[in-house]
Amino acid sequence: MNLFDPLTLPNGTHLPNRIAKAAMEENMCDAEHAPSDAMLRMYRAWAEGGAGLILTGNVMVDSRAMTGPGGVVLEDARHLARFKQWAQAAGSGGAQVWMQISHPGRQMMAALGQTTRSASAVPLDMGKLSSKFSVPQAMTEDDIAELQRRFVQTAQWAEQAGFHGVQIHAAHGYLLSQFLSPLTNQRQDAWGGSIEHRARLLIDIVKAVRSAVSAQFAVAVKLNSADFQRGGFSADDAKRVVQMLNGLQVDLVELSGGSYEAPAMQGQARDGRTLAREAYFLAFARDMLAVAHMPLMVTGGIRRPAVAEQVLASGVAMVGMATALAIAPNLPHEWRAGAQTSPALAPIPWKNKVLASLATMAVVKFQLRRLSQGRATQPKVSPLWAFALQQWMMFRQTRQYRRWMAGRLHAP
C-alpha cells in the first residue's frame, strides 16, 4: 500500500490518496460566524497541497455551544452561499472535503456567557484554570432530542453546500465524548451506565445522519482510542464502540485521544527521535483493526513520510496530519516528488502542562493565520508571543460573539 494509492470508501466513492488534512480549531469565522475570506484562502492552500481528504475544523451545530468564540456555525441556510464557497475552495485540488460537526458540551469557556450542558453535571478539572469553565447542567431528554436533530440538520446543510461528507466529532472531550466516558457520564438512565448505554447518543446520531443524507455522502466518526484518564473511556470501550458502528454504513473512523484535561492528542514528546513518538495512536489502531469493518485513520504527530508509510503498512487506511500541514500545506506534493520534508514545532518545555498545551495550540493557530493571509508560516515563532497574541484575539472574539448573540436574541 502506497501513500498515493486511491482509497475506495464503503459508500463507493474514492479518495485520490491516503493523506488527510485532519481537523484543527481555526476560530476564523466572519462577523456572522460563517466561513470568512481568510478561511477560504487557507483552505485553497491545502487544496493546492495535494491531500486526498480535507477535514474542516469543527463546525458548530448550535450557536449557543462553541468550542471557541470565533467558530463557524451551521444551523440554518442563512449563509449557505458562503459554505458553498468554502466547499469549492477546499475541493479545488481534487480532494474530498468533509465537514467536521461538533458540540463542545462542558468544554466551553464561561466568558462566552452561555449555559453549558453535558451528560452529567461534572465540571472540568483544569487546575487553576477550572474557573474559566462553568459547571454544566445535565441534559434532559428534550435536550438530547434537540441535539440529535441539530446534528442531522447540519449534515443535511453540509451536503447541500457541496461537501462530500461529514465527520461526527466524538473525541477530545467534546459532548459526544462526554457521553462515552464514565467520568463525565454518571447518568442512571438509558443514556448512562454500560458502554452500550453511554454510546447510545453517538449511535443514534450516526444512524439518523446516515438515513438523512444521500448514499454517496460520506459519514465518518472521530473517536478517542482512550481518554488517558484513570476510570475514563478505555481502549476496550473504543473497541466496543467500533463494533457497534460496524453495521451502520460508516465510511471511516478516525482514531485520536485525550481531552482538555488530558491533551494526549498533542503527544508526550515532540522531539522526533523515534518513530513511536510521532504516530502516538498507532498501537491503539492496530488493536482496532481486529474488530473494525470500515477503514481506519490515525492522526497524531505524523510529520515524516517514513512514519506515514509505517501507519499504512500496519493496515490503517488513512494517515491524518494536522500540525505538519499547518506548517507546510504543500507537504503531500513534496512527498510525492520524493522529498523527505518533516515539518515540526519545537517542544514547549513549560512546567505548567495546561499552559504548555494552550501555547502549543496558539503556535499552531499562528501558522493558520499566516496561511489565511497568504504568507509563509513561521514554525519558530516564540510560544510566549503566540500565546499572548492568541489570548488577545480570543478576548476580542469573545466580545464580538457576545454582541452577536445579543443581537440574535433581540432580532425581530
The residues pairing with 206 across neighbouring beta strands, listed in sequence order, are: none
* Domain assignment of residue 390, yes or no: no
Kind and range of the H or E run holding 73:
strand 72-73
* Domain assignment of residue 365, yes or no: no
φ, ψ of residue 296 to 5 degrees: the values are: -110, 150
* Domain assignment of residue 49, yes or no: yes
pLDDT at site 125: 87
- Domain containing residue 90: CATH number: 3.20.20.70
The residues pairing with 73 across neighbouring beta strands, listed in sequence order, are: 60
Helix, strand, coil content of the chain in percent (nearest 5)? 40, 15, 45
Distances in Å between the Cα of 47 and the Cα atoms of 86, 107, 145, 205, 338 are 11, 30, 36, 29, 20
Q: How far apart are CA 338 and CA 277, in angstroms?
A: 23
Contact 193, 181 (CB under 8 A): no
The residues pairing with 14 across neighbouring beta strands, listed in sequence order, are: 8
Contact 307, 279 (CB under 8 A): yes
Give 162-206 pLDDT, tens digit per residue.
Answer: 999 999 999 989 999 999 999 999 999 999 999 999 999 999 999
Q: How far apart are CA 93 and CA 97, in angstroms?
A: 10
* Domain assignment of residue 357, yes or no: no
pLDDT at site 272: 35
Q: Dihedral sign for Cα 130, 133, 134, 138, please.
A: negative
- Which DSSP category does 174 fall into? S
pLDDT at site 18: 98
pLDDT mean by block of 10 residues, the chain; 412 residues = 95 98 95 97 98 97 96 96 98 98 96 97 88 95 98 98 98 95 96 97 98 98 80 88 96 85 48 44 84 94 92 95 96 96 91 86 96 96 96 96 89 58
Q: How far apart are CA 361 and CA 258, in angstroms?
A: 14
Q: Could you tell me the residue range of the domain that residue 47 belongs to?
A: 7-343
3-state secondary structure at position 229: coil
Q: Is 112 left (phi over 0), alpha (psi -120 to 50) or beta?
A: alpha
* Domain assignment of residue 379, yes or no: no
* Domain assignment of residue 401, yes or no: no
Grid coordinates representing 110 are 464561561
Q: How far apart are CA 280 and CA 284, in angstroms?
A: 9
Distances in Å between the Cα of 297 and the Cα atoms of 5, 78, 145, 322 are 15, 33, 30, 13
pLDDT at site 228: 66
User: Where in 240-387 does DSSP place strands (E)?
Assistant: 252-256, 296-299, 318-321
The structural domain count of the chain equals 1
φ, ψ of residue 175 to 5 degrees: the values are: -55, -50
DSSP, residue by residue, 251-273? -EEEEE---SSS-GGG-S--S-S
pLDDT averaged over every residue in the chain = 92
Q: How far apart are CA 130 and CA 107, in angstroms?
A: 11
Q: How far apart are CA 295 and CA 304, in angstroms?
A: 22
pLDDT at site 279: 56
Contact 223, 170 (CB under 8 A): yes
* Domain assignment of residue 177, yes or no: yes
* Domain assignment of residue 407, yes or no: no
pLDDT at site 300: 81
